[in-house]
Amino acid sequence: MKAEDIKGMVRDKYSAIAKQGSMLEKQSCCGPSGCCDELEFSMIGDEYINVAGYNPDADLGLGCGLPTEFADIKPGDSVLDLGSGAGNDCFVARSLVGETGTVTGIDFSEEMLLKANKNLQKTGYSNISFIQGDIDNMPLPDKGFDVVISNCVLNLVPDKQKAFTEIQRVLKPGGHFCISDVVLSGSLPAGLKEAAEMYAGCISGAVLKEDYLDIVGQQGFTEISVRKEKPISIPDSILSTYLSADEIVRFKQSGTGIFSITLTANK
């Protein structure tokens, strides 16, 4: 698919998720249901339990990590969340910046922004804002943020180099990012690579871990560090939608790995 077709497909899938409801209504980010009709699996697990600022209404089960965990967010910081969805990580970040900081979430889905703003209205916070825009062409000023975070979103952006160029642009000198994302070791079978649902589910848009880190380095970031890494196992019930029984066996024997990583780097 062309880049704009991919963006349109992802926007449609995630807009449908926003209309469906919260993680408490058993939504998750992967599966042949197109993320909307039935429970498949969530890559985040229970990492948000007991995290300050966690808002269950804003948790749609779409993450693959906890980017605020290693983001070194301080009181008074200005934080930008890329692909903020219903606002979950923004609310966690707000608990860290306090009343003197600011948190901005950016998402390209109008439905997600509507849901995020509804969640925001319930909190009474005045230092969180949500804006609409593309991560690879953000309507934001240069050098405006101390910290950028993102949770399982950049793998959905067709031009990852452009996305990291934009992160470099909007960070203040000395700023840093903390991103949770999905990466690969080895090669996915064609049936998974070509599945639109698996792209929207954060899998088929993922790139090799070493390529991902190279892209970050090419944009001038320093002190690049993988702070956390965990394997992701796709249930057979999902694999069987895209692969034959023999293909599933070969995939499992191939050594290909799918991983969630949480990555930090400095400007």
pLDDT score of 78 more than 80:
yes
Q: What is the Cβ-side half-sphere exposure of residue 144, based on CA atoms within 13 angstroms?
A: 13
Say if residue 17's pLDDT is above 80.
no
Give the Cα separation of 86 and 25 in Å (integer): 14
Instruction: Give residue 235's pLDDT band: very low, low, confident or very high (50, 70, 90).
Output: confident
Find the mean pLDDT for residues 40-55: 75
Across the range 7-24, mean pLDDT stands at 71
- Pick 195 or 35 by higher pLDDT: 195
CB of 189 within 8 A of CB of 250?
Answer: yes
Rounded to whole angstroms, the Cα distance separating 21 from 38 reads 12
DSSP string, 199-232: HHTTSTT-EEHHHHHHHHHHTT-EEEEEEEEEE-
Maximum mean pLDDT: which of 1-15, 63-77, 184-198:
63-77
Distance CA 1, CA 110 (A): 23
pLDDT recorded at residue 84 = 96
In this structure, which amino acid lies at residue 31?
Answer: G
CATH code reported for the domain at 3-266: 3.40.50.150
User: Two tokens at 128?
Assistant: 């969180």
Specify the pLDDT at position 194: 78
Query: For position 205, what pLDDT does the model report?
Result: 78
Closest CA to 180 of 255, 82, 103: 82
Confirm if 224 and 213 have CB atoms less than 8 A apart. Answer: yes
pLDDT of residue 6: 76
SS (H, E, C) 70-108: HCCCCCCCEEEEECCCCCHHHHHHHHHHHHHCEEEEEEC
Average pLDDT for residues 217-229, to the nearest whole number?
96
**DSSP 8-state assignment for residue 48:** T
Q: Where are the domains of the chain?
A: 3-266
Higher pLDDT, 206 or 209: 209
Q: Is 119 left (phi over 0), alpha (psi -120 to 50) or beta?
A: alpha
pLDDT band at 97, cuts 50/70/90? very high
Residue 32 has pLDDT above 70, yes or no: no
Structure confidence by residue, pLDDT tens digits, 130-185: 999 999 999 999 999 999 999 999 988 889 999 999 999 999 999 999 999 999 99
Please indicate whether residue 127 or residue 15 has the higher confidence score (pLDDT). 127
Query: Looking at the predicted structure, is the pLDDT value of residue 36 above 70?
Result: no
pTM: 0.89
Q: How far apart are CA 55 and CA 174, in angstroms?
A: 30
Spatial distance between the Cα atoms of 21 and 212, rounded to a whole number of angstroms: 32
Side-chain half-sphere of 119: how many Cα atoms within 13 Å? Answer: 30
- Supply the pLDDT for residue 42: 60
For range 112-128, the mean pLDDT: 96
Q: Is residue 43 over pLDDT 80? A: no
Please state which of the ranges 25-29, 80-84, 115-119, 247-251 shows the lowest mean pLDDT: 25-29
pLDDT bucket at 232, cuts 50 / 70 / 90: confident
Q: Residue 30's pLDDT band (boundaries 50, 70, 90)? A: very low
Residue 27's pLDDT is what?
Answer: 42
Res 41: pLDDT = 52
